[in-house]
Structure 1
């Protein structure tokens, strides 16, 4: 059985990588030694995107469950050895295909979705700050599949 890696991201220091795969895990790697530092079991195995926060203290992911899950890498594992979700960003009506933190901010993140919208989130409150597209006349008329980066 061949499982695909769907997404990966580097820390700003380029010393760690996070990867998301069909196996239902996010894996954080030491890029210098190729060793795993975290293997995070996800609430939804069908993950499509992942991102490191600017400080490298947390990772985000999203997929077919239509939410973006945030994990604090400094949190204690539960009794089963799993890292708990520290924040769930809910509100998309379609899969989450991309996520990226606002540069230099661990508190804001943008997601792209199959519901034809992009959403800017306040991670501290879990609330949407802005919605781009969707019901607006000038919005996308097809799925938002991949967000490339900040201008």
Structure 2
């Protein structure tokens, strides 16, 4: 039995759900076509055959998060073994191993410059490491600990080397100045845990996904929400900005991936796995935006043609749920990590 909800909260929740339904109904009235029918004349994408180019072993527990550096060569992974590992994806070698104060890491991020990595999780903190500044034992020095959350840290992304955005289990989005270590913005964002953040290529906008089943578009410059997107029927575990800047993809616990158009203010495509038993933990888009990739709790990465909505194959190899995936900024490879303790680079 869950906690008892007082009648007032119940009626407010019902009012909110009714408002969501009304918004969706009015959106559907404006939807004059679907992406699939608008793209009927487009050529089909041939089946994509990617293979594991590098199998990177080194973690001793579940690997929860992976993120590429801006150089498309290095990536960082965070595991419940209490370690961050910086990898060279070309050689498969470990570049650095960073021991963490807390093993409960849920999210990692690499600064585009390659100078810093950050991580956080159940320690309710975001910790920044300076990769160019090492201690006597050769380990990257911790440069900041950003505390002040009332919930776990679920997601973080560097805007640049001096600022970072974080999302957390206390439903908030925060922006931090890394030179002072101070919070510059603290916004109540969603009606549930914020679980994913994706930045636009121009760095002016970002999208968040939440346990409240919605996604939100934000402007980095004033840190205010601009649009809310509905459609998913369960937690939105992952969001990924489309390279065009006009749309974003999502992967959800409701066993679907979707595409939302910012200009149309609504969902424009719905991607389903061949057997509807796969919940999605993570998502990414090819550099052209033509292929969406989603890591799944069925141990595979599913791919679809974004325009046609057709399933375009699987990346199979992991032996447990795929927890996170990151597409190299130049599109040359895809890094995935899993509860099977391994990290794979596909190409």
Q: Which one of 137, 143, 161 corresponds to residue 106 of structure 1?
A: 161
Per the alignment, residue 127 of structure 2 pairs with 69
RMSD: 1.4
CA contact (8 A) 1:41 1:83 kept: no
Which 4+ stretches in 1 moved above 6 angstroms?
none
Per the alignment, residue 117 of structure 1 pairs with 172
Per the alignment, residue 142 of structure 1 pairs with 192
Per the alignment, residue 112 of structure 2 pairs with 54
**SS of the counterpart of 2:191?**
coil
Per the alignment, residue 136 of structure 1 pairs with none
Normalising by structure 2, report the TM-score: 0.40
**SS of the counterpart of 1:65?**
coil
Q: Relative to total residues, which structure has the larger helix share, 1 or 2?
A: 2
Q: How far apart are the structure 2 equivalents of 1:49 and 1:77?
A: 24
Q: How far apart are the structure 1 equivalents of 2:152 and 2:136?
A: 27
Work out which of the two has the higher radius of gyration on C-alpha atoms and give 1 or 2: 2
Normalising by structure 1, report the TM-score: 0.88
Q: Which one of 96, 103, 107 corresponds to residue 45 of structure 1?
A: 103
The residue correspondences of 1:4-15 to structure 2 (distance < 5 A) are 4-15=62-73
Where in structure 1 are there 5+ consecutive unaligned residues? Answer: 134-138
CA contact (8 A) 2:70 2:114 kept: yes
Deviations 1:55-98 (A, max 9, x none): 1011000111111000001112245x543311111111111000
Per the alignment, residue 261 of structure 2 pairs with none
Deviations 1:113-136 (A, max 9, x none): 001101011011111111121xxx
1:83 aligns with 2:140: yes
The total of aligned residue pairs comes to 142
Q: How far apart are the structure 2 equivalents of 1:115 and 1:93?
A: 5
1:130 aligns with 2:185: yes
